Amino acid sequence: MGQAQQTENAEEIDVKALQDMYKKFVTECPSGLLFLHEFKRFFGVDPTGEASDYAENMFRAFDSNMDNTIDFLEFVAALNLVFRGDMEHKLRWSFKVYDRDSNGYVDKDELRSIINSIYRVKKGTKTETDESNLTVDDAVERIMQAVDSDGDGCINMEEFIRGAQQDPWVLNMLKLDINPALWVDEQRRKSASF
């Protein structure tokens, strides 16, 4: 019992990290609202760089009330999901990132866009795995074959979750792992060096 509690606590955002995030949040956006360009700057994303499209999709998924801004509560709620949510909740959130037009389906173009962004972001850090031998189009086709159970060319949320839960490779490709704790630690190191 003690070990399970210890593991759960390790996944929570610690108070110091939350305070650091809040300080950074208010410094970057004194209005209390984070706009897309500020979001990219907040996470150190070059607006024209490889991670820009990916950051835009992440921004949209964080913006739960769809007002084109992120307030601190939306920001913390998303981070809490990343740290504490079960796999199904994380997949539901990932689906929102993939579903760029918010129509409830992920088509090949949306899937290709995100997979392409992921490949570009991870290009320099990718290890030799099965996925490194696949082109973006090959990965999209493999995911569609594994997940699009009704063959309509689109993936709904149920297919997305079921497909990811049934195939470890698909799960690895579909779940979007962001690790804000690493970002917070990096910001602490940068602040300490000044």
Q: How does strand 70-71 pair with strand 105-107?
A: unpaired
Q: Where in the chain is the domain with CATH 1.10.238.10?
A: 13-84+179-193, 87-174
Average pLDDT over residues 153-158: 95
Q: What is the pLDDT of residues 102-136, one digit of tens each?
A: 899 999 999 998 888 777 766 544 444 444 578 99
Average pLDDT along the chain: 76
Q: How far apart are CA 94 and CA 173, in angstroms?
A: 11
Please, what CATH class does the domain formed by 13-84+179-193 belong to?
A: mainly alpha
Residue 174: pLDDT above 90? no
pLDDT score for 182: 53
Q: How far apart are CA 174 and CA 146, in angstroms?
A: 12
Residue 140: pLDDT above 60? yes
* Element of type H or E holding 129: none
Q: What is the DSSP letter of 133?
A: G
Alpha-carbon dihedral of residues 109, 114, 119, 121, nearest 10 degrees? Answer: 140
DSSP 143-161: HHHHH-TT-SSEEEHHHHH
Q: Is 179 helix (H, G, I), strand (E, B) or coil?
A: coil
- Domain 87-174 in CATH 1.20.1080.10? The answer is no
